[in-house]
């Protein structure tokens, strides 16, 4: 896996929101350009022979330093992108909650409006019932007062005024019905008044409960609005930091390319092939299956199309990794996304790379190795999802498809 295709964990929160971060970044880029220019000037005026070799070594060291800076910037960039992804997820979640809360508020407002209308109707019904009760009570009070003023004899007078016994019975029944009806109506009005009063009290309690829910929901919505504002601000700051890191990476990669061009022109040495026709690469591991090929692919972390600069062969951990051809080890160390990595120069501008090994590397920089010699063990170091070897072929520093250099399996 190309380390420019895989970047690491969160390591740059201290830059977020700093007013001087952009000026600092520009200063770093300028310093890098000056450093590379000085190295190349020294190389340009160095005499041939040992001085030239020393110049190549200096260039390689400077290139290693820049590549390390590239890796650090990539780690920070991955940090920013991961945080942006999280903030965007938070914003989507908050937006969903805001929509739900807004719907709840709208529903509560409708319920409160309906309840208030019901309370107004209950108040009107209660007023009508009170009026009927007062009116009916007035009728009864008038009748009772009249009877009191005339005395209880009035009932007898009504009855004695009967023309015959039948009329007497009719008058008695009429009086009984009048009194019973008055009592029934009076009781009915009192019951209606009680029911309306109970309904009004229930509606008022419901209104108070809805008002409490409305207040809680409004507080919740205000909190969500505040969270959304904060995350929008954080997203804007992260976008600015991302742009700055991308500019840093562009500048570092330009400097890296300048140094790599110089090394291509001045590298080489005794014991290595002088013509590419002398180089016949072998597979670095026995067995296994190709799990990822060379070329463009959609990166699962960066969410963009990137170039995979080699082939991945999935095999069991601790499977021996062997040199694909005779050559000199030019790198044997931990290299960021590559993990534990070995690079072998075979001459004629051909270099092979073996990545994601176990920590126990079996060679060191400067060692001469033979084709088929074990140099490491398969692991899953660096940015890797499982045990495999990532194998690259580079021509004058540029990755090419290894399948064009390897025998058919």
DSSP conformational letter for 319: P
Same fold, 1-127+207-267 and 268-409: no
CA proximity to 84, closest of 16, 138, 23:
16
Q: Give the rounded distance of the alpha carbon of 222 from its chain centre.
A: 22
Judge whether residue 102 has pLDDT over 90: no
- End-to-end CA gap in the chain: 21
Average pLDDT of the segment spanning 149-167: 65
pLDDT of residue 254 exceeding 60, the answer is: yes
Does the structure show a pLDDT above 70 at 150?
no
pLDDT level of residue 174 (50, 70, 90 thresholds): confident
In this structure, the number of other CB atoms found within 10 A of the CB of residue 389 comes to 24
The CATH topology of domain 268-409 is Glucose Permease (Domain IIA) (2.70.70)
Tell me which residue of 374, 209, 76 sits closest to 84, measured CA to CA: 76
Distance CA 300, CA 85 (A): 13
Name which of 39-53, 207-221, 232-246, 275-289 the model is least confident about: 39-53
Domain boundaries, the chain: 1-127+207-267, 268-409
**Range scoring the smallest mean pLDDT among 35-39, 100-104, 250-254, 360-364:** 35-39
Per-residue pLDDT averaged across 148-159, rounded?
Answer: 56
Across the range 233-238, mean pLDDT stands at 82
What is residue 355's predicted lDDT score, i.e. its pLDDT? 94
Give the pLDDT of residue 116. 80
Q: What is the pLDDT of residue 332?
A: 93
Give the pLDDT of residue 57: 62
Residue 106: phi and psi, rounded to 5, are -60, -45
Contacts of residue 263, Cβ cutoff 8 Å, sequence gap at least 6:
56, 59, 60, 63, 397
pLDDT in tens, 56-82: 566 667 777 777 787 787 788 888 888
Q: What is the pLDDT of residue 18?
A: 43
Mean pLDDT of the chain: 77
Res 266 pLDDT > 70: no
Cβ-based neighbour number of residue 185 at 10 Å = 15
CB 3 within 8 A of CB 335: yes
Nearest CA-CA partner of 78 in 231, 303, 234: 303
Classify burial at 67, counting beta carbons within 10 Å of its beta carbon; exposed 0-12, middle 13-18, buried 19 or more.
buried
Options 3.40.50, 1.10.287, 2.60.40, 1.20.120; CATH of 1-127+207-267 = 1.10.287
Return the percentage of the chain with pLDDT > 90, whole number: 24
Angle at alpha carbon of residue 303, lines to 388 and 72, rounded to 5°? 70
Q: In this structure, are strands 295-298 and 327-334 parallel, antiparallel, or unpaired?
A: unpaired
d(CA 403, CA 63): 28
pLDDT surpasses 50 at 2: no
Cα→Cα distances 122→113, 119, 194, 282, Å: 14, 5, 12, 94
8 Å CB contact between 363 and 320: no
Tell me which of 280 and 28 has the higher pLDDT: 280
pLDDT digits (tens, 9 = 90+) for 184-225: 877 877 787 788 788 778 888 887 888 887 788 888 778 888
Distances in whole angstroms, Cα of residue 30 to Cα of each of 27, 44, 58? 5, 21, 20
From 33-37, 133-137, 271-275, the region with the lowest mean pLDDT: 33-37
pLDDT of amino acid 185: 74
* Residue 19 pLDDT greater than 70, yes or no: no
Helix (H, G, I), strand (E, B) or coil at 388: strand
């Amino acid at each position: 896996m190309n380390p420019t295709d895989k970047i690491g964990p969160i390591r740059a929160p201290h830059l977020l929101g700093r007013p001087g971060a952009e000026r600092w970044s520009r200063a770093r880029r300028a310093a890098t350009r000056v450093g590379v220019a000085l190295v190349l000037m020294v190389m340009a005026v160095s005499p041939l022979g040992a001085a030239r070799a020393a110049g190549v070594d200096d260039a390689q060291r400077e290139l290693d330093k820049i590549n390390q800076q590239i890796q650090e910037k990539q780690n920070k960039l991955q940090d920013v992108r991961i945080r942006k992804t999280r903030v965007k997820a938070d914003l989507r979640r908050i937006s969903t909650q805001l929509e739900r809360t807004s719907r709840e508020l709208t529903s509560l407002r409708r319920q409160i409006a309906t309840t208030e209308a019901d309370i107004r109707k209950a108040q009107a019904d209660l007023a009508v019932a009170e009026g009927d009760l007062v009116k009916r009570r007035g009728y009864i009070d008038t009748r009772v007062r009249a009877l009191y003023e005339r005395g209880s004899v009035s009932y007898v007078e009504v009855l004695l005024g009967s023309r015959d016994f039948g009329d007497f019975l009719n008058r008695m029944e009429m009086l009984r019905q009048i009194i019973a009806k008055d009592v029934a109506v009076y009781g009915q009005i009192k019951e209606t008044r009680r029911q309306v009063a109970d309904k009004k009290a229930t509606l008022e309690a419901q209104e108070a409960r809805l008002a409490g829910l409305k207040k809680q929901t409004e507080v919740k919505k205000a909190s969500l609005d505040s969270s959304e504002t904060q995350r929008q601000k954080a997203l804007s700051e992260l976008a600015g930091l991302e742009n700055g890191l991308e500019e840093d990476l562009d500048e570092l990669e330009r400097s890296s390319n300048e140094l790599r061009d110089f090394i291509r022109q001045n590298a080489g040495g005794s014991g290595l092939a002088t013509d590419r026709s002398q180089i016949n690469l072998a597979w670095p591991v026995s067995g296994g299956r190709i799990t990822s090929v060379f070329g463009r692919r959609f990166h699962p972390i960066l969410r963009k199309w990137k170039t995979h600069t080699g082939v991945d062969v999935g095999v069991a951990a601790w499977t021996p990794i062997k040199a694909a051809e005779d050559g000199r080890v030019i790198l044997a160390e931990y290299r960021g996304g590559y993990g534990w990595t070995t690079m072998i120069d075979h001459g004629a501008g051909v270099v092979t790379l073996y990545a994601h090994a176990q920590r126990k590397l079996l060679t060191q920089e400067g060692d001469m190795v033979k084709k088929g010699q074990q140099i490491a063990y398969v692991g899953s170091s660096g940015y890797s999802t499982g045990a495999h070897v990532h194998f690259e072929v580079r021509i004058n520093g540029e990755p090419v498809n290894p399948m064009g250099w390897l025998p058919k399996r």
